[in-house]
Amino acid sequence: MSSNESSKTQYGSEVRGSNSTCCHKELSVTASVISMTVGIFSNSFALFILIKSYSRHRIKSKASFLLFASSLVTTDLLGHLINGSLVLHVYRFHRKWDTFDPHGIVCSIFGVCMVFYGLSPLFLSSAMAVERFIGVTKPIFHSAVLSSHLMKRLLGFTWLLAALVALLPVLLRRPYEVQRSRSWCFFHMEQPRDWLDVLLPLIFSVLGLLALLLSIVCNTLASCALLHGRLRHKPGSRGTSYHLEMICQLLAIMLVSCVCWGPLLVHVIILSTIAKDEPSSFSLLTTVRMATWNQILDPWVYILLRKAVLRKIFMLFHSCWGSKLHTFHRWQRSTLGSSGEPSKSYCIRYSRQPLPDTAVQTIT
């Protein structure tokens, strides 16, 4: 059954009031435009910061992390641009799929893009977590084995895996279908016809949950190893500064992904395995909208959780609380400080003056 035939059989008899339909359409279009605009701006800004930092860095492990981070932000940017354009195209034709997509081609492209740009950030985040775990716990192995060429191949493999999962319904002749809201396309979620209708959404959800679990395990272990090294006061840990910065960013990305993607992945598993008499299109659409916020919040992790910004926050706390945070300032100076860290007399003078705008610099 094609996506167009499915939409006709499921929505052909749907009748709604003109006023409520018009208001719902205006709200949906407005929300889509705002989400698309904010996502494109945020990811473009974060990509500029990451590319500038990648071109300046000489530390191999930092360069590998920035390569994956730049790829993640680029994927989010393209996801907002392509999926947002498809949504606007659907609303432009008043969600009449039989008019502008009689053969289901646009629906198939829409479904492939939804799955690909959904799984790719999860896979990239898990790959970054594994890379950071090896960099923190096995620095010699990381430097000797994980070459730049190997990291680029791993990056390509993550995109290839996400593309393969996204193309599975098309390859198996189970094309994506128009959902009940008629504004997007996804797997066949209602009344599975056979085991393939159950397997395809399960592959999507299980792989996404495994990527989240791998990120949680690797980030937790890397954070514990980094904290253990700080408590032991290793004098030779020169890389603690950028390790701390990257771990903070990974923990934030992991938290955002769990909050945004967790409900959708779990909900898809429930819909695929448990038969329901009433369709739950509203709850599915709500979890999808929550997942889109992952691509909006991800770039702000790299914008806000930079070493220069963290250093300014620590100095601001010190200027406000003074001697109460003396111990905390010592930790800041040993962890984030470098040869350019301000001396104690400067911090005292700094506390009496307003913070200049030039204190926030690009990532170093």
Nearest to 150 by CA among 220, 60, 232: 60
Contacts 24+ apart (CB under 8 A), 336-341: 336/241, 336/244, 336/245, 336/307, 336/310, 336/311, 337/241, 337/311, 338/241, 338/364
Of the pLDDT bands very low, low, confident and very high (cuts 50, 70, 90), residue 166 is very high
In 189-308, which ranges are E strands?
A: none
Query: Number of helices (H) and strands (E), helices first, in the chain?
Result: 13, 2
CATH superfamily assigned to domain 25-318:
Rhodopsin 7-helix transmembrane proteins (1.20.1070.10)
Cα–Cα distance measured from residue 237 to residue 349, given in angstroms and rounded to the nearest whole number? 30
Instruction: Report pLDDT for 169.
Output: 94
Sign, Cα dihedral of 325, 330, 331, 332: positive
Instruction: Report pLDDT for 54.
Output: 67
Q: Which residue has the higher pLDDT, 247 or 113?
A: 113
Instruction: Report pLDDT for 27.
Output: 64
What type of residue sits at position 54?
A: Y
What type of residue sits at position 308?
A: A
- pLDDT digit string, tens, across residues 261-300: 999 999 999 888 876 555 566 678 888 888 888 888 888 8
Asked whether the beta carbons of 117 and 78 are under 8 A apart, the reply is: yes
Section 2-14 average pLDDT: 40
Of the pLDDT bands very low, low, confident and very high (cuts 50, 70, 90), residue 110 is very high
| Mean pLDDT for the chain overall | 77
Contacts of 155 (CB under 8 A, 6+ apart): 67, 68, 71, 124, 127
**Is residue 7's pLDDT more than 70?**
no
Contacts of 301 (CB under 8 A, 6+ apart): 249, 252, 253, 256
CA 281 to chain centre: 24
**Is residue 301's pLDDT more than 90?**
no
Cα–Cα distance measured from residue 225 to residue 331, given in angstroms and rounded to the nearest whole number? 17
What type of residue sits at position 67?
A: L
Section 161-190 average pLDDT: 91
Cα–Cα distance measured from residue 237 to residue 233, given in angstroms and rounded to the nearest whole number? 9
Nearest to 219 by CA among 115, 340, 132: 132
Q: Which of 30-44, 135-149, 272-286 has the lowest mean pLDDT?
A: 272-286
Residue 281 class from Cβ within 10 Å (0-12 exposed, 13-18 middle, 19+ buried)?
A: middle
Domain ranges of the chain: 25-318
Cα–Cα distance measured from residue 274 to residue 253, given in angstroms and rounded to the nearest whole number? 31
Instruction: Report pLDDT for 277.
Output: 53
Instruction: Report pLDDT for 75.
Output: 93
**Is residue 173's pLDDT more than 60?**
yes
Section 140-151 average pLDDT: 82
Q: Which of 25-34, 90-99, 229-238, 325-334 has the lowest mean pLDDT?
A: 325-334
* Residue 334 in tokens: 């040993």
Q: Which residue has the higher pLDDT, 325 or 193?
A: 193
DSSP, residue by residue, 23-72 = HHHHHHHHHHHHHHHHHHHHHHHHHHHHHHHHHH---HHHHHHHHHHHHH
